[in-house]
Amino acid sequence: MAILEVQHVSKSFGNKEVLKDISFSLEKGQVLSLIGSSGSGKTTLLRCLNFLERPDGGVIRVNGETLFDAGDAVTGQESEIRKKRLHFGLVFQSFNLFPQYTALQNVMLAKELLEKEKPDYKWRKKEIHAQIEAEAKELLDQMGLSDRMDNYPHQLSGGQCQRVAIARALALKPDILCFDEPTSALDPELTGEVLKVIKSLADQETTMIIVTHEMAFARDVSSQVIFMDDGHIMEQGTPEEVFINPKKERTKQFLSRYTEG
């Protein structure tokens, strides 16, 4: 069974149709790269999967559970949205760390807020806090930030901030980790730091969806690739099929920009 099933998802903003009949599936442990020109709908698709935007149509399932069905009003209720987001961890292009919190506090925050809602929290507060802190420290150590845990975002480089953001996304143990152009705000050296972390996660068979303009990286790390254009999936397949033997002329035109010269 696919860990993620997306069927006929559509999304419009006003009169502009941004996603047009998007369908694909993703198996556990696979890495899906979404490529395409700016404005092709890649980020909107990620935001719909994370329910930061509500799709207008279609069906989204994770592990066989229907998270959204345009034909079923119950799945669109706001009261259920936060639960659905827990299936996905999202790493933003611009980090979106809380400036008033340290790296460690940023990673701990979401888990602590969730635990506070449980009936036994006040009786087990110290124990729960210690466990969350230990898990957050382990994640930051995994990101190579064991000596930066008490630093605030303004004391960190862009690459370090993005690694904190990755640790934060992993803290809730999501089914699928999503990246929205995670290196576009970084210089080449820091880009390499972040791509190395993502490659390590791929080697650990972390299920991921990555919106990226790093074509060589996408070709190297992906299980499958989707090329989007004007809200459509124009082409999808293995990295070899899309990058080496693309079928659509539009795909060839797009990829030629990265091979010229």
Q: Dump pLDDT digits (tens) for 17-73.
A: 999 999 999 999 999 999 999 999 999 999 999 999 999 999 999 999 999 998 887
CB of 96 closer than 8 Å to CB of 184: no
**260 — pLDDT class (breaks 50, 70, 90):** low
Q: In this predicted model, what pLDDT tens digit does every residue of 115-164 receive, in sequence order?
A: 998 888 889 999 999 999 999 999 999 999 999 999 999 999 999 999 99
Average pLDDT, the chain: 93
For tokens 């899309």, name the residue.
242
Between the two ends of the chain, the Cα-to-Cα distance in Å is 43
Q: Is the dihedral of CA 180, 88, 174, 229 positive or negative?
A: negative
176-180 vs 208-211, strand pairing mode: parallel
**Which SS3 state, helix, strand or coil, does residue 147 take?**
coil
Query: What would the two tokens of residue 7 be?
Result: 């069927």
- 47: closest CA among 68, 16, 74, 29? 68
208-211 vs 224-229, strand pairing mode: unpaired
Question: In whole angstroms, what separates CA 213 from the centre of its chain?
Answer: 15
CB of 67 closer than 8 Å to CB of 60: yes
What percent of the chain clears pLDDT 90, i.e. is strictly above it? 85
Q: Is the pLDDT of residue 2 over 60?
A: yes
Alpha carbons 135 and 212: distance in angstroms, whole number: 29
The dihedrals phi and psi of 13, each to the nearest 5 degrees, come to -120, 105
Alpha carbons 126 and 121: distance in angstroms, whole number: 9
Which neighbouring-strand residues pair with 88?
Answer: 176
Cβ atoms < 10 Å from Cβ of 209: 24
Predicted local confidence at residue 258, as pLDDT? 76
Q: Is the pLDDT of residue 89 over 90?
A: yes
Query: What would the two tokens of residue 257 be?
Result: 């920009």
Alpha carbons 161 and 194: distance in angstroms, whole number: 10
Predicted local confidence at residue 261, as pLDDT? 40
- 137: closest CA among 148, 128, 126? 148
Question: What is the amino acid identity at position 93?
Answer: Q
Query: What would the two tokens of residue 16 be?
Result: 């502009």
Q: Provide the whole-model pTM.
A: 0.93
CB of 195 closer than 8 Å to CB of 33: no
Query: What would the two tokens of residue 103 be?
Result: 């790296």
CB of 111 closer than 8 Å to CB of 132: yes
